[in-house]
Amino acid sequence: MRLRNVKNKEEILNNSKFLVKDYFENCGKWSSVFGNDNPIYIEIGMGKGKFIRENAKTYPNINFIGIEKYDSVVAKCLPKIDEDLENLLIIRMDALDIDKVFNKEISRIYLNFSDPWPKARHHLRRLSSRVFLEKYNSIFKNNMEIYMRTDNTDLFTYSLESFSQNGYSLYDISLDLHSSVEDENFITTEYEDRFSSKGMPIYSVVAVKDVKSSK
């Protein structure tokens, strides 16, 4: 992935109160970090952060954590966060470390327009692969909920199979999400806006698994 450098990137990253740098030390303690026992939802691969920011503003009784690997992308998100938000934090990290950062404290995962890793030899890098689903097992607090959206047909088909093979039940499967959305406050990502405006279909699914069945 080729990313443009962001002016004053280091200054932005060093001075934002929303960016958590000692995230490994907070494993199992995120409710204390937020200062409440509200549910915690995470978005893995948040991009520029429109989705997670708008959710945090819309649902103040839910804590949100946006996760993104690339510092240039994080630096674009941070200045756009309303300073008075108290239920949003951002982590710059590789998702492979997800099970070292959270421990039985997450209520929902959002996978929005994840990297499709199209080559077959890279499929286990997909965020819906067996490798990652096994990591997610240890981070969920109660029932496991994964909300996924993508514009990539191959990734979507692969994900449906992967979820099913790993004990998830599938709900609200859509092959054209925006054609059925009636809520005028429906929250989208930057990527989603760009592609849906061109008439491209957005695929979505909700995958749910009883946390007991993962033990």
Whole-number Å distance between alpha carbons of 51 and 114: 13
- Is 84 annotated in the active site? no
- Two tokens at 99? 């099970």
User: Block means of pLDDT (10 residues each) for the chain, length 215 residues?
Assistant: 68 94 97 98 96 97 97 93 96 97 98 94 95 96 95 97 97 91 83 84 95 60
pLDDT at residue 181 in the model: 79
Rounded to two decimals, the pTM is 0.93
pLDDT at residue 53 in the model: 97
pLDDT at residue 1 in the model: 45
- In the set 22, 37, 115, 176, the catalytic residue is 115
Which residues, listed in sequence order, are joined to residue 20 by a DSSP beta bridge?
Answer: 91
Nearest to 155 by CA among 194, 115, 121: 115
Nearest to 43 by CA among 22, 24, 62, 17: 62
CB atoms within 10 A of CB 155: 24
In sign, the C-alpha dihedral spanning 63, 68, 73, 74 is positive
DSSP assigned state of 92: E
Rounded to 5°, the CA angle 38-189-28 comes to: 30
pLDDT at residue 77 in the model: 94
Residue 70 CB-half CA count within 13 A:
16
pLDDT at residue 4 in the model: 61
Q: Which amino acid is at 82?
A: D
pLDDT at residue 178 in the model: 87
How far is C-alpha 94 from the geometric centre of its chain's CA atoms?
12
Q: Which residue in the block uniquely carries the two structure tokens 């997800």?
A: 98
